[in-house]
Amino acid sequence: MRHVIVSRFSVPRPQDPANADRHHDKAWLDHRLELFFQFFVPSVSRLEVPAVLLCSSKSAAYVQDMLSGLEWVEVAVQDEWYGGWIGGADQIVTRVDSDDAIHQGWLAAVEAAPVEADVCCTRDFLRYDMSSGRLCAYSRGDPSPLAAFRNGHNPFAQDHAGLDRHYRVHNIAGPYLLQVFHGGNVSSRRPSWYRRRLPLEHLEAYGIR
């Protein structure tokens, strides 16, 4: 099976209509691009698989220009938060946020998962707080934003927290997602507690140095 990574880089959230105009604000897009180049690019590029960035019709052309040197990244236009872009039946599509990073062992872990699973998820992840420089292990009761979809399923038909209610889900043990907290996240709030703090050397497994 062929792997592809997909991310909603600049798609308006129906839960956040007040910020809809940001998707043609170059300053806002430049900040997102800075995080993308700092975390997503070094992490995903070494996996040697293609990536697709979903962008609104207002932002796609600008983002495409800014990524002209990344031949492994494709920009696709999508204005709807749910549904939209879908991979081929012969692809395993991993969804991840464009300001996060993926563990180097994720693709192999997905390939080793039971064949009957439609979606592979993980409930464990690491969270890096840019303001404090802290890296902590964290766990949640529902699936994290990192998920791999098989059999042509749309990666954005459902919110990540409810995937196990709609698909045959296999939860992969271990923190394969590095979630970055940078204060401006709409969908990522600082948790009230952390499971345990880790040394920053753990970032290397996600391609971050």
pLDDT, tens only, 137-154: 988 888 999 999 999 999
Note the pTM of the prediction, 2 decimals: 0.92
Q: What's the pLDDT tens digit per position in 17-46?
A: 667 778 889 999 999 999 999 999 999 999
Q: Are 5 and 177 in contact (CB under 8 A)?
A: no
- Which pair of tokens denotes residue 72? 């492994």
Q: 172 exposed, middle or buried (CB, 10 Å; 0-12, 13-18, 19+)?
A: buried
Q: Phi, psi at residue 52, to the nearest 5°?
A: -125, 125
Q: Which helix (H) or strand (E) holds 41?
A: helix 41-45
The pLDDT score that the predictor gives to residue 78 is 95
Q: What's the pLDDT tens digit per position in 152-199?
A: 999 999 999 899 999 999 999 999 999 998 875 545 555 555 578 899
All structural domains of the chain, each given as residue ranges with its CATH number in brackets, are: 2-206 (3.90.550)
CA gap 182, 115 in Å, rounded: 36
Q: Which of 180, 177, 200, 202 is nearest to 190 (CA)?
A: 180
- Which pair of tokens denotes residue 168? 């045959």
